[in-house]
């Protein structure tokens, strides 16, 4: 059966490697922009979704029973299902034999996380959660960011966070105070905030780039 219950931060899945692993799933499932149902349902927003609830998809009797029994796709139930689908859901039509290695499952789930909003069992799911106790050097906080450069850099951010300020699933970062933004990003960058996707993204950014993004998002009207 699946691994013992854990938070995503303790797992440390690699979403880039997970994207490669997803190729073995892609003959039946799609995920990302424009994803549609195939042999299996599309997997956008799979975390926190009740089993058997992809609109318009016709599920097997086994999945209908699991759904009626209250199965919800949390990190642990997904982990167990990917390890051995038929152990968790009997009589499923899914012919996939499962993934035995825990790290492979963690990496695959880290990739699927990119397409879900605020999933359960993943600490710090909301990047705009209250700042943790994390000190940033005064000279870093003093950097004055260029909003125009921040707008140029913002594409990865707005893939999830809407520049309009709408907060559908993933909270808004528009009009967030620059210092709070900088503190939070450096907490991800230095591994204090335990969210592997945000850690990966923040780790790519220089101090000046973080300051520019902070200035841009605070300036949006």
> Span 3-25, mean pLDDT?
69
Q: By three-state DSSP, how is residue 72 classified? A: strand
Cα separation, 43 vs 129, whole angstroms: 26
Say if residue 45's pLDDT is above 70.
yes
Provide the pLDDT for residue 207.
95
Cα Rg, the chain, nearest whole Å: 19
217, 165 contact by CB (below 8 A)? no
Say if residue 209's pLDDT is above 70.
yes
* Alpha carbons within 13 A on the beta-carbon side of 104: 13
Provide the pLDDT for residue 126.
37
Cα separation, 51 vs 219, whole angstroms: 41
Q: By three-state DSSP, how is residue 50 classified? A: strand
Which of 4-18, 159-173, 194-208 has the largest mean confidence?
Answer: 194-208
Q: Nearest-CA neighbor of 186 among 167, 171, 156, 208?
A: 208
Instruction: List Cβ neighbours of 10 (8 Å cut-off, separation of 6 or more).
Output: 194
Provide the pLDDT for residue 17.
93
- Tokens encoding 98: 């499962």
Instruction: List Cβ neighbours of 68 (8 Å cut-off, separation of 6 or more).
Output: none
Please provide the average confidence, as pLDDT, over all residues in the chain: 80
Say if residue 43's pLDDT is above 50.
yes
Average the pLDDT over each of 34-48, 85-99, 138-152 and give the range with the smallest value.
Answer: 85-99
Q: Using CA of residue 90, residue 77, residue 13, residue 173, what is the dihedral sign?
A: positive
Higher pLDDT, 8 or 134: 134
Cα separation, 17 vs 110, whole angstroms: 9
pLDDT tens profile 59-94: 888 888 888 888 888 888 898 899 988 778 877 778
> Span 32-51, mean pLDDT?
89
Please classify residue 51 by burial: count the beta carbons closer than 10 Å to its beta carbon, then call 0-12 exposed, 13-18 middle and 19+ buried.
buried
> Span 148-158, mean pLDDT?
90
Provide the pLDDT for residue 183.
84
Cα separation, 64 vs 103, whole angstroms: 30
Provide the pLDDT for residue 24.
92
| Model confidence band, residue 23 (pLDDT cutoffs 50, 70, 90) | very high
pLDDT tens profile 158-191: 887 777 766 555 667 888 888 888 888 887 888 7
Cβ neighbours, 10 Å, residue 58: 10
């Amino acid at each position: 059966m699946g691994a013992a219950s854990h938070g995503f931060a303790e797992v440390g899945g690699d979403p880039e490697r997970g994207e490669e692993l997803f190729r073995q799933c892609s003959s039946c499932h799609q995920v990302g922009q424009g994803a549609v149902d195939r042999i299996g349902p599309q997997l956008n927003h799979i975390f926190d979704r009740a089993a058997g609830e992809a609109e318009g998809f016709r599920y097997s009797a086994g999945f209908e029973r699991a759904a009626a029994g209250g199965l919800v796709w949390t990190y642990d139930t997904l982990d167990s299902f990917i390890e051995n689908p038929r152990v968790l859901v009997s009589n499923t039509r899914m012919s996939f034999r499962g993934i035995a290695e825990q790290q492979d499952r963690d990496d695959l789930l880290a990739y699927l996380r990119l397409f879900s909003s605020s999933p359960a069992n993943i600490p710090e799911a909301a990047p705009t959660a209250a700042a943790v106790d994390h000190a940033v050097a005064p000279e870093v906080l003093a950097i004055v960011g260029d909003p125009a450069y921040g707008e140029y850099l913002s594409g990865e951010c707005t893939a999830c966070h809407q520049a309009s300020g709408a907060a559908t699933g993933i909270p808004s970062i528009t009009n967030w105070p620059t210092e709070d933004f900088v503190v939070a990003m450096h907490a991800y960058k230095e591994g204090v905030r335990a969210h592997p996707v945000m850690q990966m993204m923040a780790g790519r950014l220089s101090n000046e780039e973080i300051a520019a993004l902070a200035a841009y998002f605070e300036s949006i009207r």
